[in-house]
Structure 1
Amino acid sequence: MNITAQNTFTPAVLIQSGDIFDVSISGTFVATVTVQRSKDAVTWLDVDTFTAAAEKTGVSGSAWYFRIGVKTGAFTSGTVVAEIY
């Protein structure tokens, strides 16, 4: 998903307990990109932040929804290409 504005997030993805998932952040941007998780897809907790391209792999300890995006006030310019799978 291309992110070009603040307060924009990928759709939530449910990662089951023990599942391996990948986070991909690329593009040319000036922004702070935040990975968040939630038990109910309503209340979100910050997991990690990035200010440059990154590729990460994780394992979910229990079932969580995850999403990637740019919070309000954290976007200056460019395009963030964010994927979680």
Structure 2
Amino acid sequence: MDITAQNTFTPAVFVQAGDEFDISISGTFVATVFVQRSKDQSAWADVDSYTAPAEKTGRAGSGWFYRIGIKTGGYTSGTVKADVFA
């Protein structure tokens, strides 16, 4: 998904307990990009943040929803290409 504005997030992806997931952040941008997780998709907690492209693999300790995006005030310019793969 292309992100070109603040307060914009990818759709949430559910990752089962013990399963791996991949985070992909690419593009040319000036922004702080957050990976967040939630049990109920209403209260989100920051897991990590990035200011440059990154490719990461993680493992869920229990079932969580994950998403990637830019919070209010965190976007300056460019396009963030962000995806969570479970």
Check whether TM > 0.5: yes
Aligned position for 2:19: 19
Query: d(CA) in 2 for partners of 1:42 and 1:56?
Result: 24
% identical aligned pairs = 69
User: What is the root-mean-square deviation of aligned Cα atoms in Å?
Assistant: 0.2
Q: What one-letter code is carried by the residue in structure 2 that aligns with 1:51?
A: T
Runs of 4+ in 1 over 6 A off after TM superposition: none
1:53: which partner in 2? 53
Corresponding residue for 1:3?
3
The CA deviation at 1:81 is: 0.1
User: Does residue 79 of the first structure (1) align with residue 76 of the second (2)?
Assistant: no
Q: Quick one: distance in 2 between partners of 1:58 and 1:77?
A: 28
SS in 2 for 1:37: strand
Q: Look up the SS of the partner of 2:41 in the other structure.
A: coil
Q: 1:66 and 1:50 mapped to 2: Cα distance? A: 15
2:15, 2:40 → 1: CA distance?
A: 12
- Taking the TM superposition and a 5 Å limit, the aligned residue runs for 1:58-73 are 58-73=58-73
Alignment size in residue pairs: 85
Unaligned 5+ residue runs, structure 2? none
After TM superposition, give the deviation of residue 47 of structure 1 in Å. 0.3
Residues 21-60 of structure 1, C-alpha deviations (whole Å, 9 max, x = no match): 0000000000000000000011000000000000000000
Q: Secondary structure at the match of 2:6?
A: coil
Give, in whole Å, the separation in 2 of the partners of 1:71 and 1:20.
25
TM-score, normalised to structure 1's length? Answer: 0.99
